[in-house]
């Protein structure tokens, strides 16, 4: 079987999103090896790596491609041994590139199609051979002369694309719905148990409320990527924005293409700013405009009432209507935050003037949800008179709703009235708003994992069962880049836990930070927090054995005057860990251990970032946290 036949099998026998992602990953793996063939680390794919085990191994045809290229399957990994000729690797690379750009491929990346001639400033390109079907909207006829009202008309027209059923189906096919629903059920059970235990009033959250949170997290962590400046397409170096392109050969599928100059080779890399959702479902990258535009589509694909929200200065996000809570929830996919509408004014110090929300059925001025001092905001609203704005909104809303059933019109009118009543009361910011966190109830904060440590129930205990122990040793380790824990004995991974906070015992004021520009990841304090704490707990259960010795690798990084203190404790002993440890015998005979870290100090506005745990490159597969317990 040759590469083309294998690729046909890969795209034919798998769901579209799975085959597209596998082709993308195979291309990345092959290109990395060809760029640095002497790097043996790039030539080994661990089967336990979350990306490999979830996105390559289960995809029919993907492993066959690797084997055709020369990879050998071993017990724990797939390896391209050092003396393997690179000819087959180059053939696979060429086949992948040809396949991605052929009509037979399930998907096509428009940015791959824009081939640049980097020898001139504008960056010439060839027209893409495969034409992506664009979302067709009815013609837009602007009726207002005021520039602001014309922008309102334009946004109100563009949101009609979210109602395209074929587009919704494309989006829904990418969503791991079963996983999100399972996680949402766990959130809901956690809340219900917390309410019952503490005898709190039941807030009556629904599965939809929990799914909103899961969709936000999945969208940010697994689907979309933030781009400030793209890597150089010629040498993969760092680029900086230079200017907007006016070359018609570059302006494909969009009328806005940024040109970024490489700081190393000085060649230009175009970065198209797409609005068309069919294209964004392929590229899955950009800034807040691309993020909010695509996330709103996903919300509509889930069957929820959703609105695209535009803050007049420079930010956009989404609102989703919670049927159970009977109100609109602010959702910012870039930040993975929900129901924190005052974050922009209070936390980001934005001067709010106009915030407009758009859906296929209505356009609404929602400024008052996002500000605390209405009179001051009114003074900044100079784009048109308030009466002109109100009249325009009523006219646009009435025209759009004219073909709706009377029952639907009545429902929308009642919902709008409730929203207007909400706007009559000025909100007051609190400490949580300043930190970018919700000011809602304890139950709602618990649902988002943003509750303070003193309010937080124990999360996870690593229980060591005697049946797990193969060689008198148990290792628990964490990789920041893959955000995965492994529980190992006898060289075998017995179980994995995904997400940093799902393997910790307690935490407060800590989160996992991804530096998209520097391509680094680590755990650090939340912005605005003067301190952060995190701990892991290990307990021997159903086990006649006890601790003999302990070894700990605990990587920490500090800047300025930041401090990271690490302690290891048992039932009756405590030890300060300076720089990792080997063969500690102080806890001999213990049956439980806790490793705790506190983060503090730092200088300036980014002091929260100066104390870091487990910092590593985003493509690194090492384990900067590793605890090995030898038993007796």
Of 235, 265, 288, 581, which one is the catalytic site residue?
288
Could you confirm whether 315 is annotated as catalytic?
A: yes
Contact between residue 115 and residue 128 where contact means Cβ atoms under 8 Å apart: no
Among candidate residues 109, 187, 70, 152, the one with its CA nearest the CA of residue 397: 152
Contacts of 75 (CB under 8 A, 6+ apart): none
Residues 6+ away with beta carbon under 8 Å from 70: 80, 84, 85, 88, 89
Question: Maximum distance among all alpha carbons in the chain?
Answer: 82
Q: Which residue among 194, 315, 330, 610 is the active-site one?
A: 315
Strand order from edge to edge, sheet including 327-332: 337-338, 327-332, 315-322, 306-311, 355-358, 363-365
Tell me the DSSP string of 70-90.
T-EE-SSEEE--TT--SHHHH
Alpha helices by DSSP H, listed for 36-176, are: 50-55, 62-69, 87-100, 110-113, 147-158, 165-174
The residue among 569, 558, 574, 560 whose CA lies nearest residue 613 is 558
Q: Do 194 and 252 meet the contact criterion of CB atoms below 8 Å apart?
A: no
3-state secondary structure 526-561: CCCCCEEEEEEEEEEECCCCCEEEEEEEECEEECCC
Pseudo-torsion of CA 263, 266, 267, 268, nearest 10°?
A: 60
Which among 132, 74, 128, 91 is positioned nearest to 7, based on CA atoms? 91
- CA distance to 79, 173, 284, 467, per residue, from 45 (Å): 6, 28, 25, 29
Catalytic pick among 332, 339, 365, 433: 332
The answer to whether residues 494 and 403 touch, using CB atoms and an 8 Å cutoff, is no
User: Any catalytic annotation for residue 157?
Assistant: no
Distance between CA atoms of residues 76 and 85, nearest Å: 23
Residue 437 is classified by DSSP as -
Angle at 123 between CA 118 and CA 125, to 5 degrees: 105
List the alpha helices (DSSP H) in 302-385.
374-380
CA 222 to chain centre: 5
CA distance 138 to 124: 32
**In the numeric block, which tokens belong to residue 504?**
């910790």
For residue 30 the two structure tokens come to 């092959």
Q: Which two tokens stand for residue 314?
A: 């420079």
Is there a contact between 358 and 156 (Cβ–Cβ < 8 Å)? yes
Report, as residue numbers or ranges, the catalytic residues: 288, 315, 332
């Amino acid at each position: 079987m040759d590469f083309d036949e294998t690729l046909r099998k890969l795209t034919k026998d798998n769901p579209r999103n799975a085959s597209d992602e596998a082709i993308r990953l195979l291309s990345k793996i092959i290109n990395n090896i060809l760029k640095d063939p002497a790097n043996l680390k790039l030539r080994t794919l661990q089967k336990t790596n979350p990306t490999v085990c979830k996105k390559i191994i289960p995809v029919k045809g993907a492993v066959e491609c690797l084997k055709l290229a020369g990879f050998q399957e071993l017990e724990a990994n797939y390896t391209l041994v050092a003396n393997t000729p690179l000819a087959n690797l180059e053939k696979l690379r060429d086949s992948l590139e040809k396949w991605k750009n052929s009509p037979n491929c399930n998907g096509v990346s428009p940015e791959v199609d824009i081939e640049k001639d980097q020898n001139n400033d504008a960056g010439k390109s060839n027209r893409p051979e495969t034409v992506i079907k664009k979302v067709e909207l009815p013609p837009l006829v602007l009726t207002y002369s005021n520039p602001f009202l014309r922008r309102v008309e334009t946004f109100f027209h563009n949101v009609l694309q979210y109602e395209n059923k074929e587009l919704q189906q494309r989006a829904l096919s990418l969503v791991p719905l079963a996983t999100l629903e399972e996680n949402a059920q766990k959130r809901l059970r956690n809340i219900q148990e917390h309410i019952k235990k503490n005898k709190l009033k039941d807030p009556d959250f629904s599965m939809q409320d929990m799914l909103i949170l899961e969709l936000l997290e999945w969208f940010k962590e697994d689907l979309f990527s933030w781009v400030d400046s793209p890597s150089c397409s010629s040498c993969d170096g760092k680029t900086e924005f230079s200017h907007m392109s006016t070359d018609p050969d570059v302006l494909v599928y969009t009328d806005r293409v940024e040109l970024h100059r490489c700081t190393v080779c000085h060649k230009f890399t175009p970065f198209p700013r797409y609005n068309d959702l069919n294209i964004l479902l392929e590229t899955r990258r950009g800034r807040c405009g691309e993020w909010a535009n695509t996330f709103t589509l996903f919300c509509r694909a889930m069957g929820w009432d959703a609105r695209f929200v535009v803050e007049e200065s420079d930010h956009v996000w989404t609102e989703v209507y919670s049927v159970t809570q009977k109100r609109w929830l602010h959702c910012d996919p870039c930040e993975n935050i929900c129901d924190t509408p005052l974050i922009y004014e209070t936390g980001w110090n934005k001067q709010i003037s106009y915030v407009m929300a758009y859906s296929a059925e209505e356009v609404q001025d929602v400024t008052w949800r996002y500000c605390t001092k209405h009179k001051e905001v009114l003074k900044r609203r100079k784009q048109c008179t308030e009466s002109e704005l109100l009249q325009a909104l009523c006219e646009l809303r009435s025209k759009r709703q004219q073909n709706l059933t009377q029952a639907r019109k009545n429902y929308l009118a009642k919902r709008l009235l409730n929203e207007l009543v909400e706007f009559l009361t000025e909100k007051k910011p609190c400490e949580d708003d300043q930190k970018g966190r919700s000011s809602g109830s304890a139950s709602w904060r618990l649902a988002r994992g943003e509750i303070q440590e003193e309010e937080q129930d124990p999360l996870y205990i690593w229980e060591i069962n005697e049946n797990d122990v193969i060689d008198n040793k148990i290792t628990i380790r964490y990789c920041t880049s893959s955000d995965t824990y492994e529980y190992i004995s006898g060289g075998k991974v017995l179980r994995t836990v995904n997400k940093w906070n799902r393997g910790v015992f307690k935490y407060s004021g800590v989160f996992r930070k991804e530096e998209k520009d520097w391509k680094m990841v680590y755990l650090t304090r939340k912005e605005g927090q003067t301190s952060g704490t995190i701990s892991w707990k290990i307990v021997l259960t159903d086990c006649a054995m006890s601790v003999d010795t302990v070894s700990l690798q605990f990587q920490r990084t500090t800047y300025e005057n930041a401090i990271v203190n690490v302690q290891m404790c048992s039932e009756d002993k405590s030890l300060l860990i300076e720089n990792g440890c080997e063969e500690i015998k102080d806890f001999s005979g213990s049956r439980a251990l806790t490793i705790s870290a506190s983060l503090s100090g730092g200088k300036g506005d980014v002091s929260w970032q100066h104390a870091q745990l487990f910092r590593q490159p985003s493509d690194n597969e090492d384990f900067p946290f590793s605890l090995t317990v030898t038993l007796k």
